[in-house]
Amino acid sequence: MKKVLIGFFIFIATIIIGNYHIVLNATDSSRAFIFIKRPYFGFSDILGDINACTVAPYYSVVSNHPSLCRALQNAGYLENDNERTQRIETEINQKLQQ
């Protein structure tokens, strides 16, 4: 019976880990970590860090952690491609007007 319970808990943990990203250093949360739903089941980028995603160059982060970046963009923690492009164009226009 004990082995069945251990196997059941391992199965449940595998399902949870495969369906969620565990993101550390959530900026707008008082918790140390948050769970973000994955767009699909998988085991890549189980643990992520928002600070690492915002400090490194954008294309480096997107190429190294595509599923984590997509999940963070869908959850609203990172700006998506359209918002990023719009922000950059606005910054360029403001600098040209000065």
Which tens digits make up the pLDDT trace of 53-97? 878 888 888 888 888 888 888 888 888 888 888 999 999 999 898
Strand partners of residue 48: 23
- Residue 36: its pLDDT value, please? 87
- Residue 11: its pLDDT value, please? 93
pLDDT, tens digit, 9 for 90 and up, residues 13-63: 898 889 998 888 766 666 778 888 888 888 888 888 887 787 888 888 888
The type of residue at 68 is L
Nearest-angstrom CA–CA distance, 51 and 16: 24
- Residue 29: its pLDDT value, please? 60
| Distance, first Cα to last Cα, the chain | 74
User: CB of 50 within 8 A of CB of 72?
Assistant: yes
